[in-house]
Amino acid sequence: MENKYKGWIEGFGSVIDNQLGVGTKKKVLDQCKSCQQISSDREMAQCVKEVMLKFDQIVTDKEKRYGVMETMGNTCFNNFFVKIAEAVKKKSNNITEIIQNLNNLAGEEHFKLGDKKVYATFNKCLCQIGVKEVIESISKTYCSCSLGWMKNLYKTLLDKSVKVELLEKLHDGVVESQKSDTKIFRNDSPAFNITYPDYFIDLNPSPISKAIFTASHADINLEINVSTISPKRRLEELTKKIVRSLKIITKEIEIISDKPTNLRDGTPAYETIFEYKVVGVFKTKSMHLSVFKDGKWIRVSISAAANNLTEKLKEILYSLEFK
């Protein structure tokens, strides 16, 4: 058995011993047949899935389970990532540079600064022991390890303990599982509104995107861009311009859909859907709705993990309304 698999199993057992007692460890871990012989990430994922199922059944106190997993995340960070975080801290002069350097390291904008808080969003499990290879859904208990990981990350970067909240787990779902009120973004010139769910978090736009507004929820990102456009430019020509902007983050771009359309009030528009891989790994889809108004190109776009870009999200784009 590889050290990374053996190390997690032994570490998990040790934490349960310390926090919940030896008897609990034997009930949760020692009887798991899938954990006896492991030779691949897929087999390790199955092992962890079975262990978490037993863990949930035997330890009914959710806070105790989450406490164990938070400790596991803390240990994982100390063993594998603390030196990386220290290097980021060394070359950063302030929180803005810390966020920028973290994103540069990841090759994707996982970390965002907004409303005097730092938000971190990941569209898939990045666990190095192989849990990302799980075929069926794993218990939400496991995701609490990320809380300990993040607490230690920020403590290392900022030289102080900070409050970290786990707002949503990957298995909690996306827009369809939420019931909400709405918020409205209003632009002055040209005058238009966009309506979006109130659980989206408004963020400071990235200088790279040149957006005038961004908001995010889980792995879903909403952006609004307004730029001057030549009166000779046609809507159907904009797809090439969007592709050039996407090439900043990826080279593998596929156009899924590219067609003229109309807003609810009949205003001519153009809708394009792209699929691409970020960092060559994370499959993402983005939908772009473009409109010309008063010599400006208004582009509203939503990006998300490929499986999460739904018709429900499309409604946000088509809420574009001119005043």
273-299 pLDDT, tens digit per residue, is: 999 876 555 678 899 999 999 999 999
Confidence of residue 173 (pLDDT cuts 50, 70, 90): very low
- Count other C-beta atoms under 10 Å from residue 280's C-beta: 10
Q: Are residues 98 and 234 located together in one domain of the fold?
A: no
Q: Which of 143, 172, 201 is the last residue of a domain?
A: 172
Residue 287 identity? M
Nearest to 37 by CA among 4, 11, 2, 12: 2
Beta bridge pairs of residue 290:
270, 299
Tally of domains within the chain = 2
Backbone angles phi, psi at 88, to 5 degrees: -65, -45
Backbone angles phi, psi at 136, to 5 degrees: -100, 160
249-267 pLDDT, tens digit per residue, is: 777 899 999 999 999 999 9
CATH number for 19: 3.90.1520
Query: 97 or 209: which carries more pLDDT confidence?
Result: 97
Q: Are residues 24 and 157 located together in one domain of the fold?
A: yes
Q: Are residues 23 and 136 located together in one domain of the fold?
A: yes
Largest pairwise CA distance in the chain: 76
Q: Are residues 184 and 233 located together in one domain of the fold?
A: yes
120-125 contacts: CB < 8 A, separation 24 or more?
Answer: 120/150, 121/216, 121/218, 121/219, 122/170, 122/219, 123/170, 123/218, 123/219, 123/282, 123/284, 123/304, 123/305, 123/308, 124/170, 124/282, 124/305, 125/170
Residues 92 and 99: beta-carbon distance below 8 Å:
no
Q: What pLDDT is recorded for position 169?
A: 67
Q: What pLDDT is recorded for position 101?
A: 87
- Please tell me the pTM assigned to this model: 0.55
Nearest to 58 by CA among 20, 18, 6: 20
CA separation for the pair 199, 180 (Å, rounded): 7
68-118 pLDDT, tens digit per residue, is: 999 999 888 888 788 888 999 999 999 989 988 888 877 777 888 877 788
CATH number for 245: 3.40.1000.10
108-151 pLDDT, tens digit per residue, is: 778 888 777 888 887 667 776 767 666 566 788 888 898 899 99
Task: Give the residue numbers spanning the domain of 106.
Answer: 3-172
Q: Are residues 207 and 313 located together in one domain of the fold?
A: yes
Q: Are residues 192 and 150 located together in one domain of the fold?
A: no
